[in-house]
């Protein structure tokens, strides 16, 4: 069978690679064409677009790249028709994939949408796109199934795929905090806004060792341009975020999948995010959720501190860090992490999603 997959961001590359691997165990003659990154490339040679070409985020950033995005849609239309897949699998990336799903429906292609857009946070009305165009819709957060059922939008919950790859990490009994992980994000605009503040904070803490988790699809010179030469207690490691997580005591992390990965690695954290002022102002008017980090959203309460926009500065970071490393707060965070892990399934998510997708193809053939 032929599978066309679109994952436009780093987390989608991870989940896409896991799904592709499971599909290959079911369909040994599977052919893939995909948009994604190095992890998906490890599974198949059928890459059509890389993350460097597809990672746009924020209202202003999307507007600035409007011509490139139109080109991506044109390429998607052409390459899908040329490949003529048995199914198209859309992984997250809602700004692009939801719009593309309307075209796919008109063309008659079966569609699986894997990982829900955060409609519970904003643009709830887009659930109609999922309801009217998608054949299989998979969610990965425990509360999402009930949310979509209330909107008369059928969905399937098999758990969260991260449980498959992150082993259970027991609570670290080491009381002294020595090493701090810095996770500035996986997009240039995130790194540009987050890393200088992180580095200034590291310079102010010479008694701690800091390590930046970098990504190789961003050129190394870009990181180095934002690292102060006086940061002697700072290292950078590329494409080994899980190894970094295993080796650190606490973290400062850009909001996104990384925050949940840190929770599953049992690493207490401060969550930060800073974007274009106009994008933030627009988003503030539209977003309905009280939290931005996956940890707090899943727990439905504040487990970790969030420093957003102007609140993300060195003074606020200093105060939040002092609170984070108090023994009682470290213990409280880790107890909440354990409850989150228990809510995310039994580690068979990718396998069950692959089975459902292959069964749909067989049903339609």
The two three-digit tokens of residue 97, written as one number? 């994939």
Q: Is the pLDDT of residue 339 over 70?
A: yes
pTM of the full structure: 0.82
Average pLDDT over residues 258-273: 96
pLDDT at residue 283 in the model: 52
Of 132, 96, 98, give the one whose Cα is nearest residue 113: 98
User: By three-state DSSP, how is residue 112 classified?
Assistant: strand
User: Are β-strands 234-238 and 250-254 bridged in parallel, bridged antiparallel, or unpaired?
Assistant: unpaired
- The fold adopted by the segment(s) 2-160+346-364 is Rossmann fold (3.40.50)
Q: Indicate the helix (H) or strand (E) that contains 32.
A: strand 31-36
Instruction: Decide yes or no: CATH 3.40.50.2000 for domain 179-342.
Output: yes
**Band of pLDDT at residue 64, cut at 50, 70 and 90:** low
How large is the average pLDDT for residues 25-44? 96
Confidence check: pLDDT of 279 > 60: no
Tokens of 99: 């719009």
State mean pLDDT over 169-176.
61
Q: What span, in angstroms and rounded, lies between the C-alpha atoms of 212 and 199?
A: 9
CB 347 within 8 A of CB 159: yes
Between CA 84 and CA 88, with CA 87 as vertex, the angle to 5 degrees is 90
Which of 119, 146, 145, 94 lies closest to 286, judged by CA? Answer: 119
> 228: pLDDT confidence band, cut at 50, 70 and 90?
confident
Structure confidence at residue 359 (pLDDT): 97
Alpha-carbon dihedral sign for residues 303, 117, 194, 261: positive
Structure token digits, residue 29: 């003659």
The burial of 29, by beta-carbon neighbours within 10 Å (0-12 exposed, 13-18 middle, 19 or more buried), is given as exposed
From the list 359, 253, 268, 362, the residue with the least C-alpha distance to 312 is 253
Partnered with residue 217 across adjacent β-strands are none
Of the candidates 105, 98, 100, the residue with the CA atom closest to the CA atom of residue 130 = 98
Residue 175 confidence (pLDDT) above 80: no
User: 237 has which bridge partners?
Assistant: 213
2-160+346-364 and 179-342 share one CATH topology? yes
pLDDT value at residue 58: 47
Domain limits, the chain: 2-160+346-364, 179-342
10 Å Cβ neighbour count for 298?
24
pLDDT of residue 19: 98
Mean residue pLDDT of the chain comes to 90
User: d(Cα 94, Cα 196) in Å, to the nearest integer?
Assistant: 29
pLDDT at 208 over 80: yes
Over 80: is that where the pLDDT of 108 sits? Answer: yes
pLDDT band at 278 (very low <50, low <70, confident <90, very high): low
- The tokens for 253 are 């992390």
């Amino acid at each position: 069978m032929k599978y066309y997959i679109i994952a436009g961001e780093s987390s989608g590359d991870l989940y896409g690679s896991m799904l592709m691997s499971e599909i290959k165990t079911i369909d040994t003659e599977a052919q893939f064409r995909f948009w994604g990154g190095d992890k998906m490339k490890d599974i198949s040679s059928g890459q059509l677009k890389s993350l460097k070409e597809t990672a746009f985020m924020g209202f202003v950033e999307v507007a600035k790249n409007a011509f490139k995005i139109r080109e991506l849609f044109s390429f998607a239309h052409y390459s899908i028709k040329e490949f003529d897949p048995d199914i198209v699998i859309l992984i997250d990336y809602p700004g692009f994939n939801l719009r593309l799903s309307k075209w796919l429906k008109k063309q008659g292609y079966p569609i699986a949408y894997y990982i829900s857009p955060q409609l519970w946070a904003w643009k709830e009305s887009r659930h109609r796109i999922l309801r009217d165009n998608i054949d299989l819709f998979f969610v990965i957060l425990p509360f999402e199934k009930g949310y979509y059922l209330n909107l008369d939008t059928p969905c399937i919950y098999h758990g969260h795929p991260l449980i498959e790859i992150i082993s259970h990490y027991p609570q670290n009994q080491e009381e002294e905090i020595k090493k701090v992980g810095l996770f500035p994000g996986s997009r240039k605009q995130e790194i540009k806004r987050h890393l200088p503040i992180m580095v200034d904070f590291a310079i102010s803490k010479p008694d701690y060792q800091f390590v930046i988790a970098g990504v190789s699809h961003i050129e190394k010179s870009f990181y180095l341009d934002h690292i102060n030469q006086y940061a002697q207690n700072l290292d950078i490691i590329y494409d080994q975020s899980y190894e970094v997580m295993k080796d650190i005591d606490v973290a400062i992390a850009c909001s996104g999948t990384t925050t949940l990965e840190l929770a599953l690695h049992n690493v207490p954290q401060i969550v930060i995010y800073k974007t274009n002022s106009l994008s933030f102002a627009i988003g503030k008017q539209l977003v309905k959720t009280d939290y931005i980090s996956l940890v707090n959203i899943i727990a439905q309460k504040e487990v970790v501190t969030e420093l957003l926009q102007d609140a993300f500065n060195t003074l606020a970071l200093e105060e939040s860090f002092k609170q984070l490393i108090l023994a009682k707060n470290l213990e409280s965070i880790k107890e909440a992490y354990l409850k989150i892990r228990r809510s995310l399934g039994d580690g068979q998510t990718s396998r069950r999603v692959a089975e459902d997708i292959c069964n749909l193809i067989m049903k339609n053939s």
